[in-house]
Structures are given as C-alpha cells and as structure tokens.
C-alpha cells in the first residue's frame, strides 16, 4: 500500500513501490507497432530508482480492461495505463476503469473548454466523439494535454494511484515528464532525482565484468547495492545505497574506481548511446566524422543523426549500393572493385578513405557486407561484414561475421563499428596508442 512519505511515518524505499504499466491496443498485440510506451516509461522510472514490476498489453475491449485493471489494482501500488482515450476508441474504456474503481464519470466543462479552444485554433470542427474526452473521474484529477485533445486522468484511492495517459507518444511523453513524474516524486513514490550512479560498458560480457569489478565492491561491503543489466552488446551497472549508508559522493567515488579499472571498456556514465559517446569525443577533440555504407544502408548515419546538433561533428554519409555509386561518390577505383569485389577489406578501406576525403572529415567509418538472407559467396557467406576506420593516423579494416536475420546483422555491424570508433577516440583522448590491426576477426 502506498502512503505518502511524511515525517511521522517510517520511511519506505521507493524500490519497494510496486509499479505496473498497462498498455492498451490491438496494434501492439498484432505486432504492427513496437511497444514504445514500455521502453519510454520503463526507462524514465528506472532512472528514478524504481523498476516496473510488470507490463501487461491487452486489447482495448472493455471486458479485458475490467479484468486486468481489477487484477493489477490488487497487486500494484501505482498503475499507469496508456491508450484507449482517443475519440474513435471504444468509449467504454473510461467507464470500464470507473466500474473497477467504483467511481462515476462526470462531465468536466474545463476539459470541454480546452478541447473547443484547441479545435478553434486548428480551424477544425469539434465532433460529438471528441466530447467523450471531456469526462473525468468524480474523485480524480485531470492532467492537461498541451499536444492533443484527450487529457490524462489521475486517481488516488485506497492508498493506490491510477494514472491514465493518452496513446500518442508526442502527447504522452511530455505529460509523463512534466506532470506524472513530479506528482509521483511529491508523494515519495520515486526519487526526486536520479540517486544512483550508472556506468555503461561495452565489449565485455556480464559475468567477466562482474569478476573484474568484484574486488572493488568487496572493499565496500556495507550499504552498496550493485545491479547489472545487459543489452545489445553493452552491460550497464548501477551503484546505489538503498539504506543510504553511502552518500552520493561515496557512490561516485566507487564508480570512479571501477571506471579507472575498466579503461576503454568504460563507455560512459548515465544513459548515452554509443553514437552519443562518439559524438562527445569528436566534439571534445574538434574532429569531424563521415560514414560510407552498403549493407547497413543508412543505419550508421542514422545513429549519429539521432543526436540533436549532429551538424557540429557529422560531415555526412553515403549509402552506395551500386559500384557506380562507390566510384562516383567515393572515388573507389574500378580496378579495386573488379579485383577484390565490393564485399572485401580492400573496398571497405577505399570507401572509408573516400568518405573522409570527399566529405573533408578527420575520421570516417565504412561498412560493406552481405546482410542476407540471400547474397554471399565462397569466403564471404551471408553475415560477413567488413568494417573500416579511417583515422588521422591511418586506415584499417576488420572482418566480422554475424548470424541471424537481416535486421540483426545490420544492427550488430553498426554496433561493432561504433564501438571501434569509440575506442580509437578514447585512446586519442587519453594519449594511448591506437589499436593498429590491419585485419582480423573482431572478438
């Protein structure tokens, strides 16, 4: 049971608060849309010291909602729902939840006014459907929606909280950050701010990471909690002190010891992507980057252009499927392509150098290969990828090989390229000699 944290009560760790996320929508269950709400809300809560206990996705039929909300209401302290509030949705969504809570829905003239004004500003006519969105729970709050018509709804009852959010990400995300997180923090249900230290590593497995760091952890037996989480070739670990025996400064000190030990396997503090880490290193060194891709077809360029302000360090990219494009855009010599083929260490090197020269960049990465499911030949079966790095001190290539479907092969090749670039930039930053490996299979 949730009880707001105040001076007269024993303090409860936010980690004990049970959170459930209920995502509504047939398009999720039919596999048509990825569940981005889970990714977003899970990450936001995780940063504030709480982990979702469960995420349940169901259709937006009233019966299913009633059954699930009743079940979740019995086991969770905070329930967050997403979707099912649109004007074309089954209008029984709010009613279904109201039935479980034993509440009435009441028409709220303030919501009606906000919807009417929104439509007037857009020059559109309001429909009867839209006015369904003007209902709220009789004992509940309204979370205004600056980016759409359906407001969020908030109920506190039986020592628990239920929060209903609209489905469109551009409506949900600002509402969650600006309204829901502060409300939860004010009630002591999550941390006011991030109160742990997260260290992100790359290129090292979870168990060997743990083995390497254990001696450091062993020196701080009292009050230190360590949580590991592996994902997509990276392993994060979070240091916290649930009983607050260690201060934030002490946690940061322990993290710094780990970082020191990890060397270039340390990627960053916090939550940055590998591309963001590379971007920060490039900016710090006032260097620029260009990329050239065949098989990964824009995925590497896209990783960098996901970063706001990428123009500062990213000179550009070329996706050159045809040999004509390689020759025309990157000055790859025709005789090289005829002799070694497009999927070769030689072509990867030529593409990287061509990209650096054409786009006037200090660093360049090139990827060429067979992502499958067809293609491949002889020494270069499906899954073979060549990555090349052009740096101020020279140009090298590596041969990689990945199993799996096309999308997986592409993503893993991009991750490997990013990690290689990150290590070279790290070494340049710290005055360590570059890893000169003319070729060889990356581990």
Which residues make Cβ contacts (< 8 Å) with residue 74, sequence separation at least 6? none
Min CB(72)–a copy of itself separation in Å: 11
Min CB(7)–a copy of itself separation in Å: 32
Taking the C-alpha atoms of residue 180 and residue 166, their distance in angstroms, rounded to an integer, is 13
* Paired tokens of 421: 């670039």
Min CB(104)–a copy of itself separation in Å: 28
The CB density around residue 32, as the number of other CB atoms within 10 Å, is: 9
Min CB(69)–a copy of itself separation in Å: 13
Taking the C-alpha atoms of residue 258 and residue 220, their distance in angstroms, rounded to an integer, is 12
Q: 87 vs 333, which CB is nearer to a copy of itself? A: 87
3-state secondary structure of 49: coil
Taking the C-alpha atoms of residue 224 and residue 213, their distance in angstroms, rounded to an integer, is 13
Q: 315 vs 425, which CB is nearer to a copy of itself? A: 315
* Paired tokens of 413: 């090749």
Min CB(433)–a copy of itself separation in Å: 30
Query: CB of 153 within 8 A of CB of 163?
Result: yes
Q: 32 vs 433, which CB is nearer to a copy of itself? A: 32
Min CB(109)–a copy of itself separation in Å: 26
Min CB(51)–a copy of itself separation in Å: 6
- What are all long-range contacts of 270-276, with beta carbons under 8 Å and residues at least 24 apart? 270/198, 270/200, 271/43, 271/47, 271/198, 271/200, 272/200, 273/303, 273/306, 273/307, 274/202, 274/234, 274/303, 274/415, 274/418, 274/419, 274/422, 275/303, 275/304, 275/306, 275/307, 275/418, 276/307
Taking the C-alpha atoms of residue 43 and residue 59, their distance in angstroms, rounded to an integer, is 24
Q: 219 vs 312, which CB is nearer to a copy of itself? A: 312
Q: 25 vs 188, which CB is nearer to a copy of itself? A: 25
* Paired tokens of 126: 């309001």
Min CB(263)–a copy of itself separation in Å: 23
Q: 38 vs 336, which CB is nearer to a copy of itself? A: 38
Query: CB of 350 within 8 A of CB of 402?
Result: no
Min CB(8)–a copy of itself separation in Å: 32
Q: 189 vs 320, which CB is nearer to a copy of itself? A: 320
Q: 92 vs 410, which CB is nearer to a copy of itself? A: 410
* R_g (Cα) of the chain, nearest Å: 26
Give how far Cα 245 sits from Cα of 196, 228, 324, Å: 13, 20, 64
| DSSP H or E stretch at residue 229 | strand 225-231
Which DSSP symbol is given to 380? B
Taking the C-alpha atoms of residue 165 and residue 37, their distance in angstroms, rounded to an integer, is 10
Min CB(306)–a copy of itself separation in Å: 7
Q: 309 vs 431, which CB is nearer to a copy of itself? A: 309
Query: CB of 320 within 8 A of CB of 292?
Result: yes
Q: 105 vs 307, which CB is nearer to a copy of itself? A: 307
């Amino acid at each position: 049971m949730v009880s707001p944290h105040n001076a007269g009560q024993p303090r409860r760790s936010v980690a004990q608060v049970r959170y459930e996320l209920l995502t509504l929508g047939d398009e999720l269950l039919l596999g048509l849309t990825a569940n981005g709400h889970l990714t977003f809300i899970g990450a936001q809560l995780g940063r504030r010291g709480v982990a979702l206990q469960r995420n349940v996705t169901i259709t937006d039929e009233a019966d299913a909602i009633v059954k699930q909300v009743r079940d979740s209401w019995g086991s969770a302290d905070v329930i967050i729902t997403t979707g099912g509030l649109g004007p074309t949705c089954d209008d029984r969504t709010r009613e279904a939840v109201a039935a479980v809570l034993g509440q009435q829905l009441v028409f709220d003239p303030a919501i009606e006014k906000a919807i009417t004004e929104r439509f007037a500003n857009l020059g559109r006519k309001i429909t009867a459907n839209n006015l369904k969105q003007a209902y709220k729970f009789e004992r509940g709050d309204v979370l205004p929606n600056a980016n759409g018509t359906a407001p969020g709804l908030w109920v506190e009852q039986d020592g628990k909280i239920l929060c209903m959010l609209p489905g469109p990400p551009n409506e949900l995300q600002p509402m969650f950050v600006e309204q829901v997180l502060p409300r939860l923090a004010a009630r002591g249900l999550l941390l006011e701010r991030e109160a742990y230290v997260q260290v992100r590593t790359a290129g090292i497995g979870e168990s060997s990471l743990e083995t390497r760091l254990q001696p450091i952890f062993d020196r701080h037996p009292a009050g230190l909690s360590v949580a590991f989480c592996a994902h997509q070739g990276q392993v994060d670990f979070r240091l916290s002190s649930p009983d607050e025996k260690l201060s934030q400064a002490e946690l940061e000190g322990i993290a710094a010891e780990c970082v020191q030990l990890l060397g270039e396997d340390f990627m960053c503090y916090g939550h940055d992507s590998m591309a963001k880490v590379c971007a920060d290193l490039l900016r710090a060194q006032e260097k620029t980057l260009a990329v050239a891709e065949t098989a990964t077809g824009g995925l590497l360029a896209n990783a960098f252009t996901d970063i706001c302000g990428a123009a500062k360090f990213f000179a550009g990219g070329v996706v050159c499927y045809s040999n004509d494009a390689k020759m025309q855009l990157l000055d790859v010599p025709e005789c090289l392509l005829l002799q070694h083929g497009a999927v070769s260490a030689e072509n990867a090197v030529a593409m990287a150098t061509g990209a650096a020269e054409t786009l006037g960049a200090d660093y360049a990465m090139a990827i060429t290969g067979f992502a499958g499911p067809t293609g491949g030949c002889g020494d270069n079966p499906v899954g073979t990828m060549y990555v090349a790095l052009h740096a101020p001190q020279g140009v090298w290539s590596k041969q990689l090989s990945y199993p799996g479907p096309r999308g997986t092969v592409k993503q893993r090749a991009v991750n490997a390229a990013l990690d290689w670039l990150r290590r070279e930039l790290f070494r340049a930053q710290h005055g360590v000699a570059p890893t000169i490996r003319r070729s060889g299979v990356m581990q």
